[in-house]
Each structure stands twice: as structure tokens, then as C-alpha cells.
Amino acid sequence: MSNSNKSNGKYDHDIIDWFESVSENAGHVQTQTLRRILELNYGVEYLRKWLGDINIHDMDACALESLFTSVVPLASHADFEPYIQRIADGDTGPSLSQQPITTLSLSSGTTEGKQKYVPFTRHSAQTTLQIFRLAAAYRSRVYPIREGGRILEFIYSGKQFKTKGGLAVGTATTHYFASEEFKIKQKMTQSFTCSPEEVISSGDYKQSSYCHLLLGLFLSEEVEFISSTFAYSMVQAFRGFEEHWKDTCNDIKQGSLSPRITSPKVREAVLKIITPNPCLASKIQSSCEELQNLNWSGLIPKLWPNAKYVYSIMTGSMQPYLKKLRHYAGELPLVSADYGSTESWIGVNVDPSLPPENVTFSVIPTFSYFEFIPLYRRKQDCISAIDDLFEDEPVPLSQVKVGQEYELVLTTFTGLYRYRLGDVVEVAGFHRGTPKLSFICRRKLILTVNIDKNTEKDLQLVVERGSELLSQAGAELVDFTSHANIAKQPGHYVIYWEIKGEVDESILGECCREMDASFVDYGYVVSRRTSSIGPLELCIVERGTFKKILDHFIGNGAAMSQFKTPRCTSNQGLLRILNLCTLKRFQSTAYD
């Protein structure tokens, strides 16, 4: 152990040193990163279309950077779709990248309603390993953990399938959990996940969650921290535990496995690990009885006494689950995990002790070439506007300014060039020479009926205001989504809430009014005043509705690890579920 202790400490030191040095010269590193991407992919069809036959090898890196950004246009996923489709169909020619693309990732897509294929290469898995190790090194400086300990990880591989051309398709997390890099990470960080591979890849998130918890409890003394990719799946798992904890205790007592686990492979793998432990079972049982009386407040430290922190993505669309996570975590620190997308990893959290509300992500300048489109709330000398934001010309990483909002643009090693990611970030400061980004929201407008424009962030703030009244009345918001209903004139916003606890109808009516009055977008306010947008409608859906929505998405190929509840939907399948499950409807009186 002492040997591995030393070597692990050295790994941590090395990787932090590496990052500190590349961030010191981030601007220069970015220029070199672009050069590497373009040299590696020299001659691919997409680049030839814009760069022609220019011999880039003889060019100075700075000249190449200005040539690239002036000749290659900004692009969206739709621009790459025909190329990716050909790759999916088996075309092995160098259309986007010189490295053969043998795997495609599905971005979760639930934020945009449609899943997208994105190229995945060895580079993708390697950068995942690198950022996980880097983040672990920064965490261990603040919250040291015992080497050789366990992580209770709520991780799930989604389904994988083959395209017509024989390429493996799955989510990026699915590819990662199946990769060699996932094993290497455990060895290098000397932290081992509680569940065997069969549990992670069972394909049924309910069975996997049950087993993750069972094994996490069976090994509870060894668990050093609790984690998931996005906070949603952790909250979902603990909510499930509130219901089935007695079965879990029984399994620990008898060394058995509940019949709810039907997959033979999972049964075999789990039963190989657990043995009867009546003493532990009765300890967990009495803790659960106590916790039940506390509405499960402090569940995590009570059941995992050696856990040092809870680790997951808690920003952006995960923020609404933070309250529940804090409730479960009690005094344990919540550490917000890194920022990335299926297309590329972006930034690492170098200040793990910051609360999730204040977390920033330091851009890793070797992972991709990043550009930043300045966004303004009011018109200046800007070129275009696709929503309520006005844009200026993209700037390289070296020219970003603190306090300014930007849309991110990526040029990746996997064959995406000047790809608009659609995320809005704000530069909050610098880590040495690299920007620290705060995640603001997805750029896409989600609620719009006519001249009104509201983003996911706007909706989130409004729902927070409304749900304060709910909390004061002793109830809890489980989840929410929305819909811009334009089927009847005038159109109006519908917000769907699943709640836990009993509340008076008068309070729900008040929540509805409060939300309607809290949209500050000028277009909305004016339209409501002139009745060109009708009163906001609040629909209370029955308990378990959002679980049905999750099942609907999983059934259509989404992966639990990357799932994000869509905050607005026009998807007919989803609306059918929501409307069938609606128990009560309220209409706002805000502008009466």
C-alpha cells in the first residue's frame, strides 16, 4: 500500500504540474493544438472543401490559425450530418478525420429532443481518462481519500448497436465504461467502483441502481465517495432506495439477491460478491428506521460513514436537483464535476471546495481548439441575432474577457471543425492563462409563443420562485418540464410539476400566479399584458410521471448516465404521458 501511495501521489503531482504548465501558456498551446488537429487531419474532404490544397505543413502556426478561422465557416451539427451519415453507412474514406472512425457516440440529445451522432475515437477515451485523473488529483488535495478505497458510482452503460456500415453506436459514457481507460483510471486513482461491469452494463437502469446501492452498502465501510455522471441519476437512485430499503437490508442479511433482479449475468456477478452479513444488515436497518423519521435527511453520511464527499455534475440543468442532493448529503461537501460534452471535454473544476452554485471550469487547452462567440443582451455593433442575444465575431481563447458571455465553438481531434456547441458560458476569471468558465445555459430558446423569448435558465429561475411557496407549505418539487401550447389562440405556457407532499389548492394556484409573474422577458410581459399570450397553466402530474418519462427515453435508446429531463417539450409521446397523468390544472391570475 505504501508503494502505491507514493506512486499515486506522484501521478497526482505530475498531472497537476502538466495542467498548470499548459494553462500558463494557454493561448500559445491553443495555436499549437489547432496546428496538430489540422496536420493530423490534413487532406480530409471537409477541410479540403474550405482550405483547398494549401500546404499547411510549411505554414507558421499563427498564420494557420488566422487562415483557418477566416476560411472555414462556423458550423452546426446539421453541417456535419451528411459526412457522419456516410461514415455510419460504412464509408471509410477520410471525410472528416484521417484516423478511421470506428465508433459513433450519441449525445444525450434530451436537451434538444433529438439524438445526434458524434465521431468517437481513441482520443475521446484518452481525454476522458486524462480529465478524470486531473480532477481526482485536484480533489484529493482538498479532500484526501484512502487509497485502495471504493467509489459508490451510479453509472450506467446504455444500449449499443451497430450501424448499417458496422460501426458501434452508444453514448460517450457507454463507450468509456467499456474501454480500457475506465480500468486504467481506477488503477491510477487507486479508487475502485463497487459494482462489477455486469451491473454497469445491465441495460436496465432500475436493476443496476438496486445493485449499485446493495453493493455500495455491502462495502459501505470502504466507500470513500459517492458519485454519478449527472446529479439526476444519484437523486433518482436514492429516491428508489427510500422505497426498497427493506429488500436491500434483507439481501445483505441473507447474502441473497431480490427477485427484482432478473438478468442472470447480473445475478451471478452480484451473488459472487455478497455473503450473508446479519450484523451489517441490522445496523443499516436501524439507520434506515431513524432516517425515515427524518425524511431521509443526511442519508449519505449516515449510511456511508467514511464518505468524504459527493461528486457529480450539479450545474446547468442539474441545478434543480441540488436541493434534494443537499438533503441527502447533510454536512458532506458537494463537489461539482467537470464540464464537457460528447463532442469534447472542455474544462476541469480546479476548486473542488467551492459550492456548486459558484463552480467554474478551467479550459483544458490541449483537448480541442476553442473559440468564443461574444454574446450581448443588447444590440451593439453586432452581426447577427438568432434569439434574444446578439453576436460578435468569434475570438480565440487568448482574447476572452472576464464578465463576458460567449457561445462555445469547438474544433476537435475527432473531425468537427468550428462546431457551435450551443452552450452559453461566462468567463469568470483565469486559472493562470486559461479562462475559468461558468456554465450559464443551453443557448436554444425553449419557451416562445410569439415575441417572447425564454431559455432553460429563465424557466429554471421562474420555477425556483414558484417552488419556494411549495417548500414553505412543506411539499417538495420532484421534477418539472414545460410546453409552449400554440394549438389554441392565444398561445400560452404550460408548466408541469410533479410534487411530493400534500398542499392546498390555493397554494398551488398561488405558485402558478407567482411563476407567470416571474418571467421578466420583455416580450413575454408585453404579450401577457396585451393578452396575445394567455395565462400560464400549471399542471400537477401524478407521482411517478417523470419516472415514466425517463423510461420513455430509455426505451428509445437514451442512457441513464447522460439523461437530462427535457425542460421543455413538443414531443407528442411525452405530452401524451404528461397530459394523461395530469391530476389538477391551475390558471394564472397574474395579469387579470
Using CB under 6 A as the binding rule, whether residue 341 contacts ligand AMP is answered as yes
**Sequence-ordered list of residues with C-beta below 8 angstroms from that of 487, at least 6 positions apart, any chain:** none
**Phi, psi (5° rounding) for residue 127?**
-70, -30
Using CB under 6 A as the binding rule, whether residue 149 contacts ligand AMP is answered as no
Sign of CA dihedral 144, 147, 150, 151: positive
Q: How far is the CB of 333 from ligand AMP (least distance, A)?
A: 17
Closer to ligand AMP at the Cβ: 339 or 390?
A: 339
Element containing residue 181 per DSSP (H, E): helix 180-189
Alpha helix positions (H), 419-569: 456-472, 505-518, 522-529, 545-555
Distances (CA, A) of 539 to 86, 581, 588: 44, 9, 11
Sign of CA dihedral 416, 337, 544, 454: negative
Report which of 234, 246, 469, 210 is spatially closest to residue 334, judged by C-alpha positions.
Answer: 234
Among 313, 325, 446, 475, binds ligand AMP (CB under 6 A): 313
Closer to ligand AMP at the Cβ: 116 or 492?
A: 116
Q: How far is the CB of 416 from ligand AMP (least distance, A)?
A: 13
- Contact region for ligand AMP (CB under 6 A) — 211-219, 337-345, 383-391, 526-534? 337-345
Closer to ligand AMP at the Cβ: 76 or 92?
A: 76
- Contact region for ligand AMP (CB under 6 A) — 213-221, 266-274, 340-348, 473-481? 340-348
User: Treating both helix axes as pointing N-terminal to C-terminal, what angle do 26-40 and 2-24 enclose, rounded to 10 degrees?
Assistant: 90
User: Treating both helix axes as pointing N-terminal to C-terminal, what angle do 456-472 and 505-518 enclose, rounded to 10 degrees?
Assistant: 150
The C-alpha torsion from 308 through 309 and 310 to 316, rounded to 10°, is -170
Using CB under 6 A as the binding rule, whether residue 296 contacts ligand AMP is answered as no
Among 244, 308, 442, 457, binds ligand AMP (CB under 6 A): 442
**Sequence-ordered list of residues with C-beta below 8 angstroms from that of 183, at least 6 positions apart, any chain:** none
- Binding to ligand AMP in span 89-148, by CB under 6 A: 107-108
Closer to ligand AMP at the Cβ: 496 or 563?
A: 563
* Rounded-to-integer distance, Cα 538 and Cα 60, Å: 59
Closer to ligand AMP at the Cβ: 348 or 475?
A: 348
- Contact region for ligand AMP (CB under 6 A) — 87-95, 339-347, 454-462, 475-483? 339-347
Residue window 314-333: x/- pattern of binding to ligand AMP, with contact defined by CB under 6 A: -xx-----------------
- Binding to ligand AMP in span 408-437, by CB under 6 A: 421, 423
* Rounded-to-integer distance, Cα 441 and Cα 427, Å: 13
Residues in contact with ligand AMP, total (CB under 6 A)? 15
Closer to ligand AMP at the Cβ: 391 or 423?
A: 423
- Binding to ligand AMP in span 524-563, by CB under 6 A: 562
Using CB under 6 A as the binding rule, whether residue 439 contacts ligand AMP is answered as yes
Using CB under 6 A as the binding rule, whether residue 438 contacts ligand AMP is answered as no
- Closest-approach residue to ligand AMP (CB): 316
Alpha helix positions (H), 274-355: 278-293, 299-303, 322-329
Read off the C-alpha cell for 487.
394549438
Q: How far is the CB of 217 from ligand AMP (least distance, A)?
A: 28
Q: How far is the CB of 422 from ligand AMP (least distance, A)?
A: 7
Closer to ligand AMP at the Cβ: 562 or 565?
A: 562
Partners of 171 in the β-ladder: 106
Residues near ligand AMP (CB under 6 A) are: 107-108, 313, 315-316, 338-342, 421, 423, 439, 442, 562
